[in-house]
């Protein structure tokens, strides 16, 4: 085998050369080839991502040179265009897999990579199969090994001498092709409904109390010893005593017990925060006597409570009796993640898009009367955009999302750039938090805490609306599940508490149709894929029950023919398709183009259709618009048994309304009569159509 000519990487090469850098970052300040640790953060434009580094010191010393050459090729190869380059997150993932491979080689077959035989490489595959790694993940590890063969022309120190792909058992364990977002589990209906209801309660009903408590808490928090600056004037015992006496007089006037400690004593540190003086200033005999005398009059509470008045109600009662000083950071974090749940689920935004919301992201359009008829959120979209820094995009949202945005604006300090940066005073807060956003793992942890709070609260108050277990386990929420779940609900439109609580149908139309054309969100495709799957399930159910032969109307005969052809292509006679992925493939290949509506079934033929669904920009989609159907004129119409029953029920409702037609306005009465005549004619046409009985 001839060794291909190799190119030598310059030792001083900047590893991020050719990649767009963050604003204000010069290439000369970034990592070079000779550095032992490569910092990828200057080229990371997503504020919610963890800091990515490539630490070559963690690799076996013998393989550090070849690893550096490989990752320089992946990061800054001049042979790749901007659109062909791997993302930083992908490269960081490859580094972990390469590390695993090189560590195994160093421990089991010391020596250069060129000396590895096919049997030794297959030994690594066998070792991978014994590790607790999912099959699709093991496929990624095998692909990482092959990079030392694919890029051999540019690896000067070492490379693989054989192509692992040519080994007979290299891919004996096939890895499933990873689908984009539809591979994500959707949140079960019994979980998302109470989760959203509780998140809306927090945003709409409880937020004012928490915001008021946090404002008071923050002032006291800054008075603590960790934040006491050296610029403050030296305190005198006399001034401290006067301040404390004034504070204790308010406690006595209000009849409030003094703040307590777990051991039953007075919480002097909290009193010191309230008068903005060091705790050490409360140790004089005179001050201690003041505290003792007041405690004898008003008592000592079991904890240090804020004097925030609780206004939020739950079933007519205050949701909390009072708020403890120590629990404010936790309640603030729960309110923060409640806003996330509301925004992520009711907008269809990805996690990265939600995390890049800034102050001023909410826009409104008003009519001539000043009433808001459209609300939009503006953020950065990254996926499928072809630009690492993303593009500006907009989403149409409803009033609950607007409320969540307003709460976030009050919850975070003014110097925070992103609405989902870590809250000051929380455990995840870092010095750079004002210019960075919460990571995905931090949000997932906060959502788990939110569910735990709801469960504890419901158990303590014996409430029936807790978030239930799924298969005897707590459902593990993740940020990627909201978009997937939303697409399912829009496609299936089930009833229940969600529809009653937030007028779900209205929200779904806004979210589905409202994604701005400035970004290829892919959300419409997800919804239409779910709708296609739902139609496939209904079609198979009709065919299995032989209900397709009961169709009536002008398109009934064609519908029966299409369904019979569809049935012949789904598998052997009598088989049932229960795998959603298989059914999705069948619908993509052999969709009979039959669409189910409440009053009609559309056997779509675009050449004779009288309607056409349009996207947000007014372009035809090639799909029917059942909302503007003209069933008495269109030849694409068929009636199922469900349609005829729905028509009959609607006629009964109209008859009830028209009994008192004399109290209705003339225009309304006329429209109801016209609607009844049209529906009666449609029902009669279906019943009398003997050709399709």
- Averaged in consecutive runs of 10 residues, what is the pLDDT profile of the chain (693 residues)? 43 81 89 93 86 93 95 85 77 95 95 95 93 85 94 93 91 56 74 95 97 94 65 65 92 94 93 89 87 94 94 95 95 97 91 94 89 89 79 88 96 91 71 74 95 96 94 93 81 44 37 40 65 79 78 86 82 53 79 84 85 64 74 82 84 81 72 81 68 41
Question: In whole angstroms, how far apart are CA 313 and each of 101, 309, 450?
Answer: 58, 12, 19
CA dist 494 to 50, 295, 488, 563, Å?
A: 38, 58, 10, 25
Q: Measure the CA–CA gap between 78 and 91, rounded to whole angstroms.
A: 16
**CA–CA separation, 374 vs 379, rounded Å?**
17
DSSP β-bridge partners for residue 324: 305
Q: Cα 295 from chain centroid?
A: 50
Query: Of 613, 146, 292, nearest to 282 (Cα)?
Result: 292
Q: Alpha helix locations (H) across 318-421?
A: 328-347, 351-355, 399-411
| Residues in contact with 591: Cβ distance below 8 Å, sequence separation at least 6, in sequence order | 532, 535, 536
Q: What is the pLDDT of residue 71?
A: 94
CA angle (415 as vertex; 410, 421 as ends), nearest 5? 70
DSSP 601: E
Cα 496 from Cα 506, distance rounded (Å)? 15
H/E stretch holding 443: helix 440-460
The 3-state DSSP class for residue 272 equals helix
Q: Exposed (0-12), middle (13-18) or buried (19+): which is 59, by Cβ within 10 Å? A: buried
C-beta separation of 423 from 332 below 8 A:
yes
End-to-end CA distance of the chain: 74
What is the structure's pLDDT at 525? 66
Q: Are strands 53-55 and 313-314 parallel, antiparallel or unpaired?
A: unpaired
Helix (H, G, I), strand (E, B) or coil at 296: helix
Residues 6+ apart with CB under 8 A from 461: none
Which two structure tokens, joined as six digits, stand for 582?
């298989």
Complete DSSP assignment for 185-198 = PPPPHHHHHHHHHH
């Amino acid at each position: 085998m001839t060794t291909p000519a190799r190119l030598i990487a310059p030792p001083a090469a900047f590893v991020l050369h050719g990649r767009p850098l963050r604003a204000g970052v010069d290439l000369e300040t970034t990592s070079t080839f000779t550095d032992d640790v490569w910092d990828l953060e200057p080229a990371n434009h997503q504020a919610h991502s963890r800091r990515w580094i490539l630490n070559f010191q963690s690799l076996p010393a013998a393989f550090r040179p070849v690893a550096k050459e490989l990752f320089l090729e992946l990061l800054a190869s001049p042979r790749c265009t901007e659109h062909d380059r791997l993302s930083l997150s992908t490269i960081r993932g490859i580094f972990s897999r390469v590390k695993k491979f090189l560590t195994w080689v160093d421990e089991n077959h010391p020596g250069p990579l060129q000396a590895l035989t096919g049997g030794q490489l297959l030994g690594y595959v066998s070792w991978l199969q014994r590790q607790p790694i999912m099959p699709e993940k093991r496929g990624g590890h095998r692909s990482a090994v092959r990079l030392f063969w694919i890029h051999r022309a540019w690896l000067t120190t070492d490379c693989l001498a054989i192509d692992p792909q040519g080994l007979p058992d290299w891919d004996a364990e096939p890895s499933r092709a990873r689908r984009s977002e539809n591979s994500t589990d959707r949140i079960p209906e019994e979980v998302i409904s109470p989760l959203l209801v509780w998140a809306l309660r927090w945003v709409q009903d409880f937020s004012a109390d928490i915001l008021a408590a946090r404002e008071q808490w923050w002032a006291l928090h800054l008075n603590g010893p960790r934040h006491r600056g050296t610029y403050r004037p030296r305190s005198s015992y006399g001034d401290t005593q006067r301040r404390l006496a004034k504070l204790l007089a308010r406690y006595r006037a209000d009849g409030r017990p003094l703040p307590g400690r777990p051991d039953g004593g007075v919480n002097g540190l909290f009193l010191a925060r309230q008068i903005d003086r060091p705790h050490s200033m409360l140790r004089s005999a005179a001050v201690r006597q003041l505290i003792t005398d007041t405690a004898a009059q008003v008592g000592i509470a079991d904890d240090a409570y804020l004097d925030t008045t609780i206004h939020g109600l739950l079933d007519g009662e205050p949701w909390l009796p009072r708020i403890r000083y120590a629990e404010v950071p936790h309640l603030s974090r729960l309110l923060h993640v409640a806003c996330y749940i509301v925004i992520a689920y009711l907008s269809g935004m990805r996690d990265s898009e939600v995390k890049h919301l800034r102050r001023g992201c909410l826009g409104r359009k008003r009519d001539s009367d000043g009433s808001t008829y459209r609300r939009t959120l503006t953020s950065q979209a990254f996926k499928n955009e072809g630009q690492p820094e993303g593009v500006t995009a907009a989403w149409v949202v409803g009033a609950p999302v607007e409320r969540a945005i307003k709460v976030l604006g009050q919850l975070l300090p003014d110097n925070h750039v992103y609405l989902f940066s870590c809250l000051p005073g929380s455990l995840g807060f870092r010095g750079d938090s004002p210019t960075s956003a919460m990571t995905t793992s931090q949000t997932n942890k906060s959502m788990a805490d939110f569910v735990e709070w709801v469960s504890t609260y419901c158990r303590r108050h014996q409430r029936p609306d807790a978030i239930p277990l799924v298969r005897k386990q707590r459902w593990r929420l993740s940020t990627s599940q909201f978009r997937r779940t939303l697409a399912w609900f829009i496609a299936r439109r089930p009833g229940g508490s969600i529809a009653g609580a937030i007028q779900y149908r209205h929200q779904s139309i806004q979210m589905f149709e409202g994604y701005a054309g400035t970004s290829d969100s892919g959300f419409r495709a997800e919804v239409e894929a779910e709708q296609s799957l739902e139609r496939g399930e209904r079609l198979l159910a009709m065919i299995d029950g032989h209900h397709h032969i009961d169709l009536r109307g002008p398109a009934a005969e064609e519908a029966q023919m299409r369904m019979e052809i569809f049935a012949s292509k789904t598998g052997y006679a009598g088989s049932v398709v229960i795998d959603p992925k298989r059914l999705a493939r069948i619908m993509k290949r052999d969709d009979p183009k039959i669409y189910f509506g409440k009053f009609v079934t559309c056997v779509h033929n675009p050449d004779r259709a009288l309607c056409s669904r349009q996207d947000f920009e007014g372009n035809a989609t090639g799909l029917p618009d059942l909302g503007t159907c003209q069933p008495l004129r269109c030849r694409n119409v068929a009636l199922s048994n469900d349609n005829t029953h729905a028509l009959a029920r609607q006629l009964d409702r109209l008859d009830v309304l028209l009994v008192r037609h004399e109290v209705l306005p003339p225009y309304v009465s006329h429209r109801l009569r016209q609607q009844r005549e049209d529906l009666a004619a449609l029902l009669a046409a279906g019943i009398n159509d003997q050709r399709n009985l």
